[in-house]
């Protein structure tokens, strides 16, 4: 039946067994991913009963259809309680009885999630329940709650409410649905950095209204934030490039004498005021931020079916014409040319082939990720070129 002028639909299901009738009422609301589920248990027998209500979610152990080989996200189950907070586990852990989670509570929720989507049961609070996980059949797994309903006298009824959320992992919606539900959005092990990055992205998107331009703008902002570190790195690399011929000569002069070669190398670094790790350390410091941004772009359902411009109609899908991966390969090739040439000929050949290898891998990556990578590369090239030119003028 329809309610509220057609904005709500109710589905009522009934089942009677052993003199006990279960009536389930599902209430669907327009534009809402939460479904109200009312359970009414009526004792129609002539004796008291002590039933329990079973709530569970079941899924097979397969990865979502269409998931890219190089883009693996979490697929599994989760439990949330105030005492133990968010606990997630894979179906393999359920299979081997190694799913570590709370077993009793009187509040919280349980869920099954995959890339971009989650289904979660949220029973009413202040009701004791047991929490379980189990293998139902071959490649079929369940997570759920058992809620004792107490003694129901003949002719009496007990009502138990719950909500079933089934929808996309949109952060604002998840936060408004239940405490801790936003944690199902898998940002990897750098969530503490990833969440502020996503918050900043949403603020930028409110202004620009396009996720593609949001990615570009955010990348520029992060690049500006790390400008001093990047500049130090590029200055060090420019110095290394300048003394590469001298380093090659030292290696040729002391072939088979590694100790003498190292001593002369260290003297060269000291004379030229070069820190051998100067080009690496500033980059290493930035790595956690860039990994976090990678996971934000990978895990955010907001990118799904979000267009950028021209042929890019879905930032969560690979570029259909492979234009972005090719552009990325070109940008990587230019970067390789700007960097100091490795003294080892084999290593130099490997570095030349890296752009080609990465472009093939990125054929299968979401176009939003490739767009971020291109933007970062172009900004790095511009910054490195400017710094190198300034150093050449002052030399």
pLDDT in tens, 292-308: 888 888 888 998 899 99
Collapsing DSSP to helix, strand or coil, 152 comes out as strand
Share the mean pLDDT of the chain.
87
Could you tell me which residue, 67 or 98, shows the higher pLDDT?
98
User: What is the percentage of the chain residues whose pLDDT exceeds 90?
Assistant: 54
Q: Assign domain 2-186 to its CATH architecture.
A: Distorted Sandwich (2.70)
Q: Give the per-residue pLDDT at 49.
A: 95
Model confidence, pTM = 0.79
- The CA distance from 144 to 275, in Å, is 57
Q: For 187-241, what is each residue's pLDDT tens digit?
A: 878 888 999 999 999 999 999 999 999 999 999 998 888 888 777 776 777 777 7
**Can you give the pLDDT at residue 299?**
87
DSSP classification of residue 342: P
Rounded distance between C-alpha atoms, residue 248 and residue 179, angstroms: 61
CA–CA separation, 228 vs 143, rounded Å? 49
Quote helix, strand, coil % in the chain, to nearest 5: 45, 25, 30
Flag whether pLDDT at 341 surpasses 70. Answer: no
User: CB 379: neighbour CB atoms within 10 A?
Assistant: 19
Spans of all domains in the chain? 2-186, 200-394
Q: What angle do CA 355, 357, 362 make, to 5 degrees?
A: 90
The continuous run of DSSP H or E covering 136 comes out as strand 129-137
Residue-wise pLDDT for 344-392, tens only, equals 667 667 777 777 887 788 888 889 989 998 998 899 888 878 877 776 6
The CA distance from 149 to 189, in Å, is 39
DSSP string, 158-212: EEEEEEEEEEE--HHHHHHHSTTGGGGS--GGGHHHHHHHHHHHHHHHHHH--HH
| pLDDT tens-digit series, residues 35-46 | 999 999 999 999
pLDDT at 66 (0 to 100): 65
pLDDT attached to residue 111: 98
Percent above pLDDT 70 for the chain? 92
Q: What sign results for the dihedral spanned by CA atoms 235, 233, 341, 240?
A: positive
- What was the pLDDT predicted at 208? 96
């Amino acid at each position: 039946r329809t309610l509220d002028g057609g904005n709500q639909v109710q589905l009522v299901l009934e089942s009677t067994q052993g003199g006990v009738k279960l009536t389930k009422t599902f209430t669907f609301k327009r534009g809402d991913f939460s479904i109200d589920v009312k359970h009414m248990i009526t004792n129609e027998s002539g004796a008291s009963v002590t039933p329990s209500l079973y709530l569970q979610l079941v899924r097979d152990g397969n990865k979502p259809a269409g998931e890219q080989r190089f883009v693996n996200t979490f697929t599994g189950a989760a439990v949330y309680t105030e005492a133990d907070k968010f606990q997630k586990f894979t179906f393999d852990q359920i299979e081997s009885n190694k799913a570590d989670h709370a077993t009793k509570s009187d509040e919280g929720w349980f869920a099954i999630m995959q890339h971009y989507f989650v289904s979660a049961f949220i029973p009413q609070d202040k009701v004791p329940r047991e929490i379980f996980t189990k293998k139902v059949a071959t490649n079929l797994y369940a997570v759920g709650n058992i809620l004792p309903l107490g003694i129901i006298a003949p002719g009496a009824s007990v009502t138990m409410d719950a909500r079933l959320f089934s929808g996309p992992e949109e952060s604002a919606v998840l936060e408004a649905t239940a405490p801790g539900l936003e944690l199902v959005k898998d940002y990897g092990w750098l969530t503490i950095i990833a969440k502020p990055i996503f918050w900043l992205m949403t603020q930028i998107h409110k202004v620009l209204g396009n996720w593609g331009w949001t990615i570009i703008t955010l990348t520029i902002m992060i690049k500006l934030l790390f400008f001093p570190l990047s500049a130090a790195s590029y200055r060090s690399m420019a110095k290394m490039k300048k003394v590469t011929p001298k380093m090659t000569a030292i290696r040729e002069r002391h072939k088979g004498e590694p100790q003498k070669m190292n001593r002369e190398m260290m003297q060269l670094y000291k004379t030229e005021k070069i820190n051998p790790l100067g080009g690496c350390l500033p980059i290493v410091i930035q790595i956690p931020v860039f990994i976090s941004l990678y996971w934000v772009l990978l895990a955010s359902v907001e990118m799904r079916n979000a267009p950028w411009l021209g042929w890019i109609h879905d930032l969560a899908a690979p570029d259909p014409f492979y234009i972005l991966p090719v552009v990325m390969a070109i940008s990587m090739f230019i970067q390789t040319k700007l960097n100091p040439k490795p003294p080892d000929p084999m290593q130099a050949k490997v570095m030349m082939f890296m752009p080609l290898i990465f472009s093939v891998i990125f054929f299968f990556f979401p176009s939003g990720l490739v767009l971020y990578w291109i933007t970062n590369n172009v900004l790095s090239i511009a910054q490195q070129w400017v710094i190198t030119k300034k150093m050449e003028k002052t030399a």
